[in-house]
Amino acid sequence: MSRGLGDVYKRQAVFRLTEHMERLVRGCKAYGIPLDYTVEELVDITISVVRENELHDGCYVRPLVFLGLGSIGLNPAGAATHVMVAAWEWGAYLGVVGVKHGIRGRVSSWRRINHESLIPSAKGTGGYLNSILAKAEAVAAGYEEALMLNSEGFLAEGSGENVFVINDGVVTTPPVSDGCLNGITRDSAITLLRSGGVEVREASLSRASLYYADEVFLVGTAAEVTPLREVDDRPIGDGKPGPITRMVQDGYADLVRGRIPEYDHWLTYVEAD
């Protein structure tokens, strides 16, 4: 099981570290992977990695729980569990220009894994093969990102991000039941929107909803808040990031840098004041 964590921001704080580790532990339980570490121990290990490597703003953290030596067959019983935490400097996942001006996306021919095949709500590395196929197809065709439908034809998510669609000032995002990850950045965006008085709905979305949208943006640990300016060669709105998208971008930047005091509990500081 893997979890990409939030960037390490100024003052060396990791964004929503405890929630990420809680989900990592839940994911291991869902896939039957024994894990002897507690959430608190995983948090402490991550903070040590960041501190000892003197990483600062723009650092990305990736914990990984995997099975080692054991049976060579498909039954993992008896295989030893290993845990690692890596961290490195990483810029904007979808590009600085994309964050500012928006990216081009396409609806993938590959469908999002469903609840009958894997566990979409758990970040199993094997599930990323599905995302890799979609992402590679989109990039080869000249787009920056893929949008994935589920087996029923409803919008699920990007190859590695949750998606938000805006019409007439109302924001809609697919429910977890449609196969998207219950993302922590997704939850942060919903919190920001609702605290700003914007109506947010969780409801199934058709492919056409992307074409009719006034604004569309993607959120994820690496992508943060990235606007879509075009999908399937159709401009979204006027082809520029809209006001609600900008509001979420600005609010998220304030959140992760500790500029909104009521959410300071979402930051785990590497060094005490």
Catalytic residues: 123
DSSP class of 142 = T
- The CA-atom distances, in angstroms, between 271 and each of 11, 67, 148 are 8, 32, 40
**8 A C-beta contact, residue 229 and residue 200:** no
Q: How far is C-alpha 93 from the chain's CA centre? A: 11
Secondary element (H or E) of residue 256: helix 243-256
β-sheet bridge partners, residue 243: none
- 66, 62, 36: which is closest to 49 by C-alpha? 62
The beta-strand segments (E) located in the chain are 5-9, 13-15, 59-67, 81-89, 103-107, 145-149, 155-158, 162-167, 170-173, 200-202, 215-220, 224-231, 234-235, 267-269
β-sheet bridge partners, residue 83: 65
Quick one: tokens of 235?
Answer: 């401009």
Quick one: tokens of 162?
Answer: 């949750």
Q: What is the C-alpha to C-alpha distance for residues 53 and 61, in angstroms, rounded to an integer?
A: 12
Q: What is the C-alpha to C-alpha distance for residues 102 and 114, in angstroms, rounded to an integer?
A: 28
